Structure 1
Amino acid sequence: MKHFGVILLFILFVVFIVFYWKQDSKYGADLQENLALSDAQVVLPEEAELAGDELVGDTNLMPQGDGYEIAEEDLSVSLQTKQEAYDKLDLRVKELKSKFLEASFEFIQGKHQFSFPYFERFAKFDGEDKKDIVYASLGYDVNVIKTLETMINKVDPNVPSYLSGLDKGIASNLLDILYNVTYYVREVALNNHLNFFNLDKIKNNDAITVENIVAINVYLETLIKLRENLILKLKQHISLAGSKSDRGAMEVELRKILDLKGDIRLTLGKIMVMTKSIEDLINVQFSNVQSESK
């Protein structure tokens, strides 16, 4: 019986590793595809090692015109020990994960009923967990979600787009954006890159400096702020589009969300880049240690 318990734990461990490997592979493929649609540039690992003003000085990564300024204390590392910097990061990660869970739980408790037959055709809306990601990108605002529901249900997948109440391409691209706004922050940055195992590595790996940890924290705070700003803009555009009785006027408003050169797509590109930069900041340390040990 004792050996059975050990074998069971081993099997569960293997399953867990395989699951996260598949998640990483899916994330990598999705990231490459989405970055290809934007002008965003990934920060190289050696560049990501820079901290303080050098790290956040790249205006291509920082939010522009979103009313967000990084506080000086966020960049200060001179008075922090590694343990203090880590404790701050660890506490913030726990706070953010708890905040996301509480918001999701509160929304579920409302037992709201929505129907998106057209969205159901896509993997990004397949299952309650996927739908939750989309709803979270609208701040779980029931009225805005209902407005989105009304517009999306104008799509008739059985006829050409010009005969449908809403262009199918607009609807599917809108779903991609709504999904990615929360996916890259909540699922990738927080639940994947800053999971329990990676936080433990950050804490115990001597190669990781105070500057590295502060840099990760700065990226994380910026991600959260960018996402909050996107939620406000998405709600505004969707609400305004829903108020239009004319299809043309409605689609003009929705295209502002989809515009490759528009604020929303550019900000989403920054989010994807910062998420990748967090991953590189963590992984480059371990690759350096492996190289030194050879």
Structure 2
Amino acid sequence: MEKSARIYVAGHTGLVGSAITRRLRKEGYDNLILRDEKELDLRDQGAVAGFFRENRPEYVMIAAAKVGGIVANNSYPADFIYTNLMIQSNVIHHAYAAGVKRLLFLGSSCIYPKMAPQPIKEEYLLTGPLEPTNDAYAIAKIAGVKMCQSYNRQYGTQYVAAMPTNLYGPNDNFNLETSHVLPALLRKFHEAKLAGEQKVTVWGTGTPFREFIFVDDVAEACLFLMNLEGAAFDALLDDPKAPALVNVGTGVELTIRDLALTIKEIVGFTGDLVFDSTKPDGTPRKLTDVTKIHSLGWRHRMDLREGVAETYRWYLENRSSGSH
């Protein structure tokens, strides 16, 4: 991407979108096209069509999505499937209609089957049943992957679908009803420490394994993929087993129990840790195979302990605002 290129970041106020925007600006991209949801409702096809006609972006990065943890996904499946299908369908199609040079669609590793072999290769997509607690969200994201592949095949577009593993970092959602496990635990331990409580209860058994990646690493991976050239990019698009689909992760996993203990230590909570086994665990293990993105030349930088500490610093500075 040329430094002066018109780049549209959909969802620039969210966790991933804000990190992508920070990274673009840091690297000297100064012609960014940004609209928040009040300025542009991405569920509105007419509004999205008009936006693309008027602004003619050359590159598009789709970080806009309705996201949440187990509670939110399980409670509002209709909202998750409708909102995400509308956002990505409108943006991908009108990017094509406007002649966008390259598009990056961000999904999630939850698109893969619940009992997929580990670590999860891109080619395992659609080889088994999904995790029931978030299948509505996953199906919407699978549709986005298939849209990218289909437009590439029919129209010769250069659309890439990147599937990050569990994200965390500055600008995360710390609302206990709608957040993911890491920010939720961070907030629970912090509030328990302030209140002088003797214990913190964690959903589930603590035995599931999860992989976490710092959001600024994902932003770097997104720019890496948008700037990938030549035979490497062609091979990514034409991969016979999983065209245009690439996992973005660390390849490192730990149990929810070990995650909770790490956060407990960083926050400085001295009470007990209790697991509520009556609550759902979700997928037992979800480790991505990152061989493909490693072979292209990208690797993550931030280790978990350092990333959690940085996220906690950000939370302490910003917790008075909104859902934080």
Q: TM-score range, shorter-chain basis? A: 0.3 to 0.5
Q: Judging by fraction of residues, say which structure has more helix.
A: 1
Q: TM-score, normalised by structure 1?
A: 0.32
Higher relative contact order (CA 8 A, sep 6+): 1
Q: Judging by fraction of residues, say which structure has more strand.
A: 2
Q: TM-score, normalised by structure 2?
A: 0.30
